[in-house]
């Protein structure tokens, strides 16, 4: 038999109540028995089942003590009339995980021995555990097939341990009087209980927010302990360790367990001074659960990969800021002699453009000093943007001109928003600037040149509703912040204008209305 595996036994209930039917053809695969456990326990459900002893009755059995086939069994369960060969329980587990029933079985020489029945499986189980020759209730079985299965189990199943998604042989021993004494005349039952899985990830929480963000890597080699209520006092305590593993190269871990209640305990890895805050963000799949998780209840076959832990080093606050300047020559660069602008409103934003707020939920803002400088300090490391609000009489200059981020303007001319910057622990980003210019404008008059001399003569009236397009020097359309071409139409007196323009070079294109050509 394999070594004792506590995570296959510690969370099992002490006893259950059950009902049974034979043969086992009501649910699942065909088996010797079908049993239904219904006792408000972690393994309540319907299971394919088998018998261990060939010469005992199940009649009247409805209550039993529960054991894993991989734990050290009480001596009263071992020996003649009980489990005569406990050393073969791993081979029993191998049998119930092969999906034999209904498949063809080949003999040692490759000859076809026919289709395997539940009777063949039960007879093989008796053979490897009980060593008797009874055939009661086996239905259509073949001794040759049964012995071939037993032979394969003893050779290929030696040392077998089931994994997640496979079945664990859970032993139920009748105790009808509930006095802790096993009924010597009742049959021991094997229930096929599907194993469960618990995991998943230990990560470096770079921004200390307790959430697994994109780019935050796993931590390898972290010790992870599985806890269960070993002493049966109804509480799972930090010293009740039943299994230990370490995270792999990707920071992942898992435990294969029988259904039940567990906690996961993480040991703080070397090189990390702090534990991430627990259960942040409302999504258990990507949060951190602290050094010891809450109780996790697993049903048979359930997989819970939401138990994670984040760690980080002590984080120093970060900051950002720099300068708002009047770009006198409109080149988008902070040239010598260009002065700062006092009193400009600056807003701290998240990457999605929403406001960063303080502890009271108020947006965090500041205004520039007399020299045009501003700063935000005491920030949690992470990603930020800045939004500048142009004062009356100004618009933003060209952004990101010249290739030097320390002296350019970072404000998008259409909305004053900068690019996203990432702040690590202790960083101060002093490159987020905004250049302001006094806007320019152009316009005048579309008139009907009655005498065709190309001159606005006295008495020649304006033309209403003429489409006018603002163009770049190359003839392409000048667009607004949303990418739409900037156009206007003449007023009733023929006048038009474009205002609030960034200083630079422009053209205007007029579209002649129906019935007119240009003079």
How do residues 14-25 score in pLDDT, each as one tens digit? 999 999 999 999
Q: What is the pLDDT of residue 428?
A: 97
Q: What is the pLDDT of residue 181?
A: 62
Identify whether the C-beta of residue 45 lies closer than 8 Å to the C-beta of residue 194: no
> pLDDT at residue 74 above 80?
yes
| CA–CA gap between residue 181 and residue 76 (Å, rounded) | 9
| CA–CA gap between residue 381 and residue 359 (Å, rounded) | 16
Average pLDDT over residues 399-420: 94
Query: Among 260, 225, 227, 262, which residue's Cα sits nearest to residue 246?
Result: 225
How do residues 448-489 score in pLDDT, each as one tens digit? 999 999 999 999 999 999 999 999 999 999 998 789 999 999
How do residues 346-367 score in pLDDT, each as one tens digit? 999 999 999 999 989 999 999 9
- 155 Cβ neighbours under 8 A, 6+ residues apart: none
How do residues 363-397 score in pLDDT, each as one tens digit? 999 999 999 999 999 998 899 999 999 999 999 99
| CA–CA gap between residue 503 and residue 475 (Å, rounded) | 17
Higher pLDDT, 429 or 402: 429
Tracing tokens 């898992």 back to the chain, one arrives at: 254
Tracing tokens 């152009």 back to the chain, one arrives at: 442
Higher pLDDT, 160 or 500: 160
Terminal-residue alpha carbon distance, the chain: 105
B/e letters for 14-36, b = 16+ CB within 10 Å, e = fewer, are ebbebebebbbeeeebbbbbbbb
196-312 and 318-437: identical CATH topology: yes
| CA–CA gap between residue 223 and residue 265 (Å, rounded) | 9
Average pLDDT over residues 146-165: 96
Average pLDDT over residues 441-447: 96
Q: What is the pLDDT of residue 89?
A: 96
Q: What is the pLDDT of residue 1?
A: 34
- The domain 318-437 is placed in CATH, from the list 1.10.3720.10, 2.60.40.10, 3.90.1150.10, 3.40.220.10, at 2.60.40.10
Q: Which CATH architecture has domain 196-312?
A: Sandwich (2.60)
Note the pTM of the prediction, 2 decimals.
0.63
Reported in sequence order, the residue ranges of 221-317 that DSSP labels E, i.e. its strands, are 223-227, 241-246, 252-257, 260-266, 274-275, 296-298, 303-312
Per the prediction, the chain carries an average pLDDT of 92
> pLDDT at residue 180 above 70?
no
| CA–CA gap between residue 256 and residue 43 (Å, rounded) | 15
Average pLDDT over residues 249-255: 98
Q: What is the pLDDT of residue 3?
A: 42
Higher pLDDT, 313 or 221: 221
**515, burial (CB in 10 Å: exposed 0-12, middle 13-18, buried 19+):** exposed
> pLDDT at residue 178 above 70?
no
Q: What is the pLDDT of residue 480?
A: 87
Average pLDDT over residues 235-260: 96
How do residues 1-14 score in pLDDT, each as one tens digit? 334 478 899 999 99
Parse the chain into domains and list their residue ranges: 6-194, 196-312, 318-437, 440-511
DSSP letter for each residue of 168-220: EEEEEEE-TT-SS---TTB--EEEEEE-EEEEEEEEE-TT-SSB--TTPPB-T
Q: What is the pLDDT of residue 56?
A: 78
Identify whether the C-beta of residue 162 lies closer than 8 Å to the C-beta of residue 168: yes
CATH homologous superfamily for the domain 440-511: Immunoglobulins (2.60.40.10)
Antiparallel, parallel or unpaired: β 428-429 and 382-389: unpaired
- Tokens, residue 499: 């205002």
């Amino acid at each position: 038999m394999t070594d004792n595996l506590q995570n296959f036994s510690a969370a099992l209930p002490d006893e259950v109540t059950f009902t049974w039917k034979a043969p086992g053809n009501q649910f699942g695969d065909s088996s010797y028995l079908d049993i239904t456990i219904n006792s408000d326990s972690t393994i309540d459900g319907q299971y394919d089942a088998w018998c261990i002893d060939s010469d005992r009755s199940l009649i009247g059995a409805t209550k039993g003590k529960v054991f894993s086939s991989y734990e050290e069994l009480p001596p009263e369960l071992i020996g003649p009339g009980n489990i005569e060969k406990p050393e073969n329980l791993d081979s029993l587990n191998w049998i119930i995980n092969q999906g034999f029933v209904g498949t063809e079985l080949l003999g040692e020489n490759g000859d076809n021995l026919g289709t395997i029945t539940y009777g063949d499986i039960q007879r093989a189980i008796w053979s490897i555990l009980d060593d008797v020759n009874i055939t009661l209730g086996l239905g259509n079985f073949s001794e040759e097939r049964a012995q071939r299965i037993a032979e394969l189990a003893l050779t290929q199943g030696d040392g077998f341990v089931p994994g997640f998604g496979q079945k664990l042989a859970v032993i139920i021993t009748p105790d009808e009087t509930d006095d802790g004494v096993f009924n010597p005349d009742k049959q021991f039952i094997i229930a096929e209980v599907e194993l469960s899985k618990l995991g998943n990830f230990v990560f470096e929480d770079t921004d200390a927010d307790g959430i697994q963000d994109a780019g935050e890597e796993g931590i390898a080699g972290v010790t992870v302990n599985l806890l269960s209520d070993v002493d049966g006092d109804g509480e799972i305590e930090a010293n009740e360790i039943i299994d230990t593993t370490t995270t792999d190269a990707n920071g992942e871990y898992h435990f294969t367990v029988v259904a039940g209640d567990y906690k996961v305990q993480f040991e703080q890895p070397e090189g990390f001074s702090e534990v991430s805050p627990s259960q942040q963000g409302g999504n258990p799949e990507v949060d951190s659960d602290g050094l010891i998780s809450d109780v996790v209840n697993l049903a048979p076959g359930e997989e819970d990969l939401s138990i994670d832990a984040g760690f980080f080093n002590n984080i120093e606050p970060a900051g950002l800021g720099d300068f708002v300047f009047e770009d006198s020559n409109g080149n988008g660069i902070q040239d010598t002699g260009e002065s700062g602008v006092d009193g400009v409103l600056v807003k701290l934003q998240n990457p999605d453009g929403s406001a960063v707020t303080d502890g009271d939920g108020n947006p965090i803002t500041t205004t520039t000093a007399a020299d045009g400088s501003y700063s935000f300090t005491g920030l949690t490391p992470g990603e930020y943007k800045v939004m500048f609000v142009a004062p009356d009489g100004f618009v933003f200059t060209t952004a990101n001109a010249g290739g030097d981020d320390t002296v350019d303007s970072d404000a998008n001319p259409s909305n004053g928003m900068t690019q996203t910057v990432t702040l690590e622990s202790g960083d101060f980003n002093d490159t987020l600037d905004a250049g302001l210019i006094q806007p320019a404008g152009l316009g005048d008059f579309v008139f009907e040149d009655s005498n065709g001399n190309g001159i606005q003569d006295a008495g020649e009236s304006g033309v209403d509703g003429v489409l006018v397009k603002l163009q770049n020097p190359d003839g392409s359309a000048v667009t607004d912040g949303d990418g739409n071409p900037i156009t206007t139409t003449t007023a009733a007196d023929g006048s038009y204008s474009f205002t609030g323009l960034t200083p630079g070079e422009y053209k205007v294109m007029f579209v002649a209305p129906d019935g007119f050509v240009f003079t």
